[in-house]
Amino acid sequence: MQTIILAVALVSSIAWTNAAQGPLLLPAQESLAKIQRHGYVPFKRHIPSNLNLRGGGKGNVLITGGAGYIGTHCAVTLQEAGYTVMILDNFSNSCKKSIERVGEITGKSIEKVFDVDIRDKAALDKVFKENKVDAVIHCAGLKAVGESVREPIAYYENNFVGALNLIKAMSAAGCKKIVFSSSATVYGNPAKVPITEDFPLQCTNPYGRTKFFIEEMLRDVANADPEWKVINLRYFNPVGAHSSGKIGEDPSGIPNNLMPYVTKVAIGKLEKLTVFGDDYDTPDGTGVRDYIHVMDLAKGHVAAVDKLFSIEGEVVYNLGTGHGYSVLDMVKAMKEASGREVPYVIGPRRSGDVPTCYADAAKAKQELHWEAKLGVKEMCQDAWNWQCKNPNGYREEAELAGAKK
């Protein structure tokens, strides 16, 4: 009589090899009677798909736009969580030095970096054909609201067409797990706050519409093909930097986002801040936003990638703190963090902006087991630390001098 010994592993299953049949898996929850009757249960049916049995780690994650602000912070948190990170970027608004800094923080360099534009379908196909990619975080794209109003065609071409090319390349390679960096701009001007994921979507600018159309495309793809697993992350307003000061937000030219502009004014790189409108229906008349520390946001991406391996179809999550702060609140907080004055003037409202926008992130807390931990004080302290340690961003003084010649 054959003796069967059961061992319960942390993954609630055990594996062994049958000489005739190859690798097999015995789930701990299977009854002994069923096992004796059938002999075994096929290994493939029960192994958790986020386990990389080929040599450690959780799997290979490709970050598009991985040299940028969000991408680099995601790369750090993914590496620290045990994933192998690959980066794809065209470096139009970023540089390779940011990727080197990720390696300095984690102690592990990113070996695969692809200098590719997501509008180049052939180049994308080559990346997926030649590399094993288990999941994608799609961060690449243009992201300035005001610029999108002035140059809508560029935004539709870069953001929407680029995403379409990416989905095609992924599908052809059999890689069907994606976390998409969407935005709270898809909600437009909400009737009330805080905003939950089931709020009506009513974009007020081309940037927001590109995010909305990409979400809809991914939703349709997931509905048509059950192998696709999609998580759309609607982030609110990322600010701050890694506490080491090695990576942070480094916009090309004049910043479009509030906090890098504020830090450049505080350090003396820019003369004054222009506040776009002080006649909104808010406590101090300036726009109110849900500012979230970029490291909290990055950890939300790790939670989303983990979740990809257990969901069905497409899921949406807000990533925010659930608290709204005005432009002048943030100016005051940066003044306290830096000990510097932040001169400002009031300008006209900016086209496409909404008065108030902040999240209800309860769904992410419940299903992703994630919530923002860091407050405005830490956001400003880390943003200031990055600015002081990198007054010219990732560019060295020698590079800047050379560029002026």
Rounded mean pLDDT for each run of 10 residues along the chain, 405 residues in total: 37 35 37 37 36 59 99 99 98 96 98 98 99 99 93 98 99 99 96 97 96 99 98 98 98 89 96 97 98 99 98 98 98 98 96 92 98 98 98 74 50
Instruction: Evaluate the omega torsion of the peptide bond into residue 194 and state whether it is cis, within 30 degrees of 0.
Output: yes
The catalytic residue among 69, 155, 187, 207 is 207
pTM confidence score: 0.85
Nearest to 67 by CA among 236, 231, 250, 241: 250
User: Cα dist. 304→75, 78, 309 in Å?
Assistant: 14, 11, 9
207 is catalytic: yes
Handedness of CA 237, 242, 243, 248 (dihedral sign): negative
Number of other CB atoms surrounding residue 147 within 10 Å? 17
Instruction: Please provide the CATH number assigned to the domain covering 60-249+293-324+356-378.
Output: 3.40.50.720
Domain boundaries defined on the chain: 13-46, 60-249+293-324+356-378
- Token couple for 6: 């059961």
CA–CA separation, 166 vs 136, rounded Å? Answer: 10
Note the pLDDT of residue 402.
55
- Amino acid at site 342: V
| C-alpha closest to that of 392 among 97, 34, 183, 12 | 97
Complete edge-to-edge strand list for the sheet that includes strand 13-18: 13-18, 22-27, 41-42
Neighbouring-strand partners of residue 345: 274
